[in-house]
A and B are shown apart, each in its own frame.
Chain A
Amino acid sequence: MAKPLTTPQERVALFQKLFSDTIPHNKALGLKVLAVARGLASMQLDWRQELVGDPRTRVLAGGPLTTMLDSCCGMAVATMLREPKPFATLDLRIDYARPATPGQPVIAEAECYRITRSVAFTRAFAHQGDPKDPVAAAAGTFMLGTKGKLTRAQSVTEHLK
């Protein structure tokens, strides 16, 4: 059994390693884990020229936000597992509430509000500093106990006991 983590900093460092540094695409996007607690996860995506979707406005493409929101919801699910088990996104809805202001980072905050034996339900918002002025809203459901080997990220629950 893994040693329980005592400080929020240790927890963030562990989740940064498991959910960004060791996941090739999250690492490529440069996702930063900001905070994590049971059922809650927060990440940040920095604005970069190569992530722009509309050259006229320099607004980020939808893709990087979709990826961050998927990852952030998945991280919230991982904190809720009673025992380590593989899981995968079943569906993900994103509402793009407003264009993200170019040059500014985007913060995602996800909550896993219900978990059953087979399915986990999540909600998330993305904003640029003011949670009351969201850039995007997401609803994701995850299938639990999917086939395949357990990843280290999916076994993170051991560290939260």
Chain B
Amino acid sequence: MKRLAAARKSGDVSRLAEAIPYARWMNIAPENSTGELLTRMRYRETLIGNTFLPAIHGGTLGALLEMTAIFHLLWESEAETVPKIVNITVDYLRSAGPRDVVAAAKVTKQGRRMVNVFAEAWQDDRGKPVASASAHFLVKSSEESEPSL
């Protein structure tokens, strides 16, 4: 919670990823240099799922979209714990080449306990997304849960 509060106070969103081992391992981190919260998955050869095309593994695009939604909720909704994912549906729109992938999320519906988030990922052209996802998360308010970050 201290880390989360510090990250919010400093305005440095990249610090959100520091506490999540999987985000660090995947080189997935948020950035807000453009004023908009974006999440970037830095390209490395170990992301490849199809060596013949070559293309980034679809599973990692799902992972990026899920992390994008989580960072969005941590940043925008003042959640104090990592939101618990209930389900996610990923649509694969284009194959993703061996380059960075960037994603953005928005809250479609904010309920008291449940949030619906839509996220979209692209490479060179935001108008040509490589994948999109819609996901549900359980969120708790700060009074009823232990802080985690």
User: A-side interface residues toward B, CB under 8 Å?
Assistant: 22-28, 49-57, 60-64, 66-71, 88-96, 99, 148-151
Chain B residues near A62: list those with CB within 8 A. 62-63, 66, 85, 88
User: B52 and A149: CB pair below 8 A?
Assistant: yes
User: A23 and B49: CB pair below 8 A?
Assistant: yes
Looking at B6-14, B22-30, B31-39, B100-108, the stretch in contact with chain A turns out to be B22-30
Tell me if B142 is interfacial: C-beta within 8 Å of chain A: no
Interface of B is mostly: mixed
Tell me if B47 is interfacial: C-beta within 8 Å of chain A: yes
| Beyond known contacts A28-B46, A68-B59: 17 more, CB 8 A cutoff | A24-B47, A26-B57, A52-B22, A56-B82, A61-B67, A62-B88, A63-B62, A63-B63, A63-B66, A89-B58, A90-B92, A91-B91, A92-B58, A94-B62, A99-B84, A148-B52, A151-B51
State the CA gap A57–B84 with chains docked (Å). Answer: 11
User: In this complex, what residue of A is CB-closest to B83?
Assistant: A54
Q: Which of B19, B45, B47, B66 contacts A55 (CB 8 A)?
A: B19
Tell me if B48 is interfacial: C-beta within 8 Å of chain A: yes
User: A24 and B45: CB pair below 8 A?
Assistant: yes
Tell me if B21 is interfacial: C-beta within 8 Å of chain A: yes
Tell me if B141 is interfacial: C-beta within 8 Å of chain A: no
Interface of A is mostly: mixed
Chain B residues near A71: list those with CB within 8 A. 49, 57, 59
Known contacts A96-B85, A148-B95; decide if A63 and B45 are in contact (CB<8 Å).
no
Number of B interface residues at 8 Å Cβ cutoff, please give it: 43
Chain B residues near A57: list those with CB within 8 A. 148
CB distance from B116 to the nearest CB of A (A): 14
Can you report 9 residue pairs joining A to B where beta carbons are below 8 Å apart?
A: A60-B22, A62-B88, A63-B66, A66-B59, A91-B91, A92-B58, A95-B86, A148-B50, A151-B52
User: In this complex, what residue of A is CB-closest to B50?
Assistant: A151
Known contacts A23-B48, A70-B62, A150-B52; decide if A53 and B22 are in contact (CB<8 Å).
yes
User: A51 and B21: CB pair below 8 A?
Assistant: yes
State the CA gap A27–B81 with chains docked (Å). Answer: 31
State the CA gap A70–B92 with chains docked (Å). Answer: 12
Chain A residues near B59: list those with CB within 8 A. 25, 63, 66-71
